[in-house]
Copies of this chain bind each other. A is one copy, B any other.
Amino acid sequence: MSKTTMLSTHQLLHDDTLFPADASILPIAQRLYATVRELPIISPHGHTNARWFADDEAFPNPTALLIIPDHYVLRMLYSQGIPMESLGIGVNDYDPRAVWRIFAKNYFLFRGTPSRMWLDYTFSRVFGFTERLSEKTADEYYDGISETIARPEFRPRALFDRFRIEVLTTTDAPNDSLEDIQKIRKSSWKGRVLPAFRPDPVVDPDFAGFRENIIRLGEITGEDTSQWKGYLRALQARRAFFKSQGATSTDHGHPTAQTADLSTAEAEVLFIKIFSGRADAAEQELFRAQMLTEMARMSVEDGLVMQLHPGSVRNHNLLIFKKFGRDIGADIPQKTDYVNALRPLLSRFGNEANFTLILFTLDETNYSRELAPMAGHYPCLRLGPPWWFHDSPEGMMRFREQATESAGFYNTVGFNDDTRAFLSIPARHDVARRIDSAFLARLVSQHRLEEEEAYDVLHDLTVGLVKKAYRL
């Protein structure tokens, strides 16, 4: 790989990728994109591992780097009958080159998917390949990537800087010590890695180890978390700790967007039942609902921006969950209601000046029906970017087409990469910048926006709105 990798042009990724080819739009898109292409990356929400940057060790091998942690890749291969075990999942030992060869042979399956685009971007821009991955090029790729990631300039911190990441936020459990974050802060390296407070393990009764997590929360904070008020105080204390470590946001991954507004007496009784483990499904849902409102209340007080990611049926494939655990591609979206579900929370805090609640969805029908109208009215609400299955060229375009007319651009918050796959970060941000350029170019070509205005908007979507919404 040459040192000029990041600058040169490669066959795998055309300069005009994702732009409308129409000669009446293409030059506008090109001009717009040129103004944001090299801007720093603001990554305010994702799932990378702070340890990578704390320890700054070389990534072990191409398979461990690019396949094992990527649930998009795993699920597609599994859907075509390739056993998880042959991909190195659920086995004590595996041959990374053998897994890589299976992946390479089946790379055609990703045609038309965002994974293909992210991977080609990485192969091309980070590793310098010019011929597409296939059975034929499998070993060439494997060897080339292995060699590259062994070099110092491909260590996590070096890549972070090379990718021009200005800030990267991880997602952390309330009981997490944040020692990796602290190690980074104490190091000489200037990379800005921030934690985010994700209390699901102590807020969602369905979470593995829920009761133990709450007990541990009490130990860490010195509060009596077997009682409602002590439990709330403990959460408040952990939020304060996260904030002291740089956190500007919380995140909540619930099966639905349901919120509630119980009296203190009702909440106390419910908590006792929940903590005892005797609550039924409806009570568990009510507890999660109440906790969203409590978290909103604390956000009004401490200024942490609140993110809500609802609507995924986790671990839909029970066999796969039992054999291989969570987060490997068996989470499936479901219909999600916002208009009625959020009303209790919004009735209390919807008009608060100091409160920001960023909403995400896996149910695209909500863009135009509920989310854009709500974000276009409530001062606290902002719309997160297309999430997960919809973080894709068509998905992003649908979001802009369906949300902009009621919410405008300024009730949205720019892009989140939301990824576990560190190397895909530049690719994902690049795709977002290209799609926003393409969308704005169409508006300009139809005289719905002046080109001068489009430059402003695009810059805000890339940097300004992200920093503002996440208070970075």
| Chain A interface (Cβ < 8 Å from any Cβ of B) | 13-14, 16-26, 75-76, 78-81, 108-114, 117, 132, 313, 316-320, 329-335, 337, 339-340, 343, 346-347, 350-351, 353, 362-365, 368-370, 372-379, 381, 389-390, 392-395, 401-402, 404-411, 443, 445-450, 453, 456-457
Bound-state CA distance A401–B402 (Å) is 14
Q: In the complex, what residues of B have CB within 8 A of residue A404's CB?
A: 112-113, 394
Given A379-B79, A394-B405: A457 in contact with B319 (beta carbons within 8 A):
no
> 24 A-B residue contacts at CB 8 Å?
A17-B447, A18-B446, A18-B448, A19-B446, A20-B446, A24-B26, A79-B375, A79-B377, A81-B379, A108-B456, A111-B457, A112-B449, A113-B406, A117-B448, A316-B374, A316-B377, A317-B378, A320-B351, A331-B373, A332-B339, A332-B370, A332-B377, A334-B369, A393-B448
Contact A339 B313 (CB under 8 A): yes
A346 touches B368 (CB 8 A): no
Instruction: Please report the C-alpha to C-alpha distance between residue A363 and residue B368 in the assembled complex, in whole angstroms.
Output: 8
Assess whether A108 is in contact with B21, with CB atoms less than 8 Å apart: no
Whether A79 and B112, one on each chain, are in contact in the complex, defined by CB atoms closer than 8 angstroms, is: no
Contact present for B334 and A370 (CB under 8 Å): yes
The docked-state distance in angstroms from the alpha carbon of A80 to that of B389 is 29
Known: A319-B350, A453-B111. A389 touches B362 (CB 8 A): no
> Lowest 4 CB-CB distances: which A-B pairs, in order?
A21-B24, A14-B447, A21-B445, A392-B405
Instruction: Please give, as numbers and ranges, the residues of chain B lying within 8 Å of A450 by CB-CB distance.
Output: 132
A21/B17 contact (C-beta < 8 A), A111-B457, A114-B405 known: no
Among B108, B372, B453, the residue within 8 A (CB) of A389 is B372
A448, B335: Cα distance in complex, Å: 30
On chain B, the residues within 8 Å of A406 by CB distance are 113, 389, 392
**A370: chain B residues within 8 A (beta carbon):** 332-334
Given contacts A79-B376, A112-B405, 6 further A-B contacts (CB under 8 A): A79-B407, A108-B456, A132-B450, A329-B376, A329-B377, A369-B389
Asked if B347 and A318 make an inter-chain contact with CB atoms under 8 angstroms apart, the answer reads yes
In the complex, A445→B25 CA distance in Å? 13
A313-B333 contact given A368-B390, A369-B364, CB 8 Å threshold: no
**Would A80 and B364 count as touching, CB distance under 8 A?**
no
Closest Cβ–Cβ distance, residue A81 to chain B (whole Å): 5
Quote the shortest CB–CB distance from A308 to chain B (angstroms): 16
Which residues of chain B have C-beta atoms less than 8 A from A332's C-beta?
Answer: 339, 370, 373-374, 377
Cβ-defined contact, B368 with A395, below 8 A: yes
Q: Which residues of B contact A346 (CB under 8 A)?
A: 316-317
Among B20, B316, B340, which residue has its beta carbon within 8 angstroms of that of A339?
Answer: B316
Question: Chain B residues with Cβ under 8 A from A16's Cβ?
Answer: 446-447
Whether A369 contacts B373 by the Cβ 8 Å rule is: no
Judging by beta carbons under 8 Å apart, are B448 and A112 in contact?
yes
Residue of chain B at shortest CB distance from A318: B347
**Complex Cα distance A23/B25, Å?**
11
Q: How far is the CA of A346 from the CA of B318 in the complex (A)?
A: 9
CB distance from A83 to the nearest CB of B (A): 9
A51 to chain B, nearest CB (A): 28
Residue from B24, B365, B395, B449 within 8 A of A22 (CB atoms): B24
Among residues of B, the one whose C-beta sits closest to the C-beta of A71 is B377
